[in-house]
Amino acid sequence: MAGVVEYFDELIATDQRVEPRDWMPDAYRATLIRQIAQHAHSEIIGMQPEANWLTRAPSLARKAILLAKVQDEAGHGLYLYAAAETLGVPRDELVDALLLGRHKYSSIFNYPTLSWADVGTIGWLVDGAAIVNQVPLTRCSYGPYARAMVRICKEESFHQRQGYDVLYTLTRGTREQRRMAQESVDRWWYPSLAMFGPPDAASTHSEQSMAWGIKRHSNDDLRQRFVDLCVPQAEVLGVTLPDPDLRWNDERGHYDFTPPDYDELMAVVAGDGPANRDRMRHRRRAHDQHQWVRDAAAAYAEKNR
Ligand code: ACO
C-alpha cells in the first residue's frame, strides 16, 4: 500500500497524469466523479436553451451552425460520461443521479433564452467563460479528463466564435437589432460571471482540488481572467457591460468589477432558478421517451456478442 500511495504523491508532485489503473485516494476519485459528472450533465442540459431557437434561426446558415453546435454539446456530454466511467462508476448511475436531482449541473443553463440575440450572447459569454474555465483542465492531473478537455476546448472555441459573430452582425444591424443585442448582454453578464462558482473564501473544494492538480486556478482568478478578456471584446462589439464600476485598475493590472450575486447563484444551484423545473422536466421526459433507443442498442449489442 505504501508504495502506491507514494507513487500517487509522486505523480501529483511531478505534474504527471494519474491513469485509471493507478491507485488513487478515495476522496480524489470522488471529487473527480463529482466534477466530471457535473460537467457532463451541464453539457447535456446545456443543449436545451439554444435548441429552443433551432426552429427560429434567422437563416439556413445560422440554423445549420446552431444545429452543429447543439450536437457538439451532446458529444461533449458523452466524452465526459466516458471519462467518468473510467473511475469505476457506470453511466446509468450518473444519469440517474442527474434525473433524481442528486447531482448538480451548471447554474447558467437555468436561465431562459428570450431572444435570438441570446444565441449570440451564450456563444460569446457562456462558451467564453467555459473556455477560460476549461483550458486549464486540459492539464488536469487525471489523464482521461485532461484528454477529453482538449477536443472539447477546440469545439468550444468554435462555439464562442459563432456567438461573437451573431452578436457582431446584430450590433451592425438596425437599431432594433442593436437594442436586442444589448438587452441580451445585460441579462447574461452576471449569470456568466457566476458560472465560475462561489468566491474563493466560500469555495468548498478549491483548495484540495488545486493541491491535487484537478483545478489549476481558483474560481476568483478565472473570473478575473474572463472579465479582462471580455472588456476589449465588448468594445469591438459596441455593447456596454452592465457594470458601472467596471474600470481598469493600473495597480492591480486588471479590471475592477462588481461580483455577481452569490445568493442568487446558490438559489439557482439549489433548484430555484428561472428555468430549473422546465429543464429537468424536459430531460426526464426525453429520457423516458427514448428508452426504446437504449433497449434497441442493448438488444443489438447482445445479438452481436
Ligand atoms: N453551477 C452549479 N454548481 C456550482 C457552480 C455553478 N456555476 N459553481 C459551484 N457550484 C457548486 C459546486 O459543484 C459545489 O457543490 P457540491 O459541493 O455540492 O458538489 C459548490 O457549488 C461549491 O463550489 P466549489 O467548492 O467552488 O466547487 P468546485 O471546486 O467543483 O468548482 C467549478 C466549481 C469551477 C464549476 C468546477 O467544478 C469546474 O471547473 N467544473 C468543470 C467545468 C464545468 O462543469 N463546466 C460546466 C459548464 S460550462 C459548459 O458546459 C458550456
Task: State how far the Cα of 255 lies from the Cα of 231, in Å rounded to an integer.
Answer: 8
pLDDT < 50 regions, the chain: none
Q: Indicate if ligand 1 lies below 6 Å from the C-beta of 103.
A: no
Q: Indicate if ligand 1 lies below 6 Å from the C-beta of 195.
A: yes
| For ligand 1, atom 23: residue with the closest CA | 203
pTM: 0.96
194 Cα–ligand 1 center, Å:
10
ipTM: 0.97
The confidence score (pLDDT) of residue 156 equals 96
Q: What does the DSSP assignment read for 32-84? A: HHHHHHHHHHHHHHTHHHHHTTGGG-SSHHHHHHHHHHHHHHHHHHHHHHHHH
The confidence score (pLDDT) of residue 228 equals 98
298 Cα–ligand 1 center, Å:
33
Q: Which residues of 19-46 are buried (b: 16+ CB within 10 A; e: fewer)?
A: eeeeebeeebbebbbbbbbbbbbbbbbb
The confidence score (pLDDT) of residue 2 equals 65
The confidence score (pLDDT) of residue 179 equals 98
pLDDT tens, residue by residue, 4-18 = 999 999 999 999 999
| For ligand 1, atom 38: residue with the closest CA | 35
Strand 254-256 and strand 247-249: the pairing is antiparallel
3-state secondary structure (DSSP) of residue 246: coil
Q: How many CB atoms lie within 10 A of CB 286?
A: 12
3-state secondary structure (DSSP) of residue 218: coil
Q: Indicate if ligand 1 lies below 6 Å from the C-beta of 217.
A: no
3-state secondary structure (DSSP) of residue 254: strand
Half-sphere exposure of 62 (CA within 13 A, CB side): 21
Q: What is the dihedral of CA 297, 298, 300, 302, to 10 degrees?
A: 160
Which atom, in ligand 1's list, is nearest to the CA of 266?
21
Q: Indicate if ligand 1 lies below 6 Å from the C-beta of 43.
A: yes
Which atom, in ligand 1's list, is nearest to the CA of 31?
30
**Which residue carries 437504449 as its cell?**
294
Q: How many CB atoms lie within 10 A of CB 2?
A: 6
The confidence score (pLDDT) of residue 165 equals 97
Task: State how far the Cα of 125 lies from the Cα of 244, in Å rounded to an integer.
Answer: 19
228 Cα–ligand 1 center, Å:
21
Tally of helices (H runs) and strands (E runs) in the chain:
14, 2
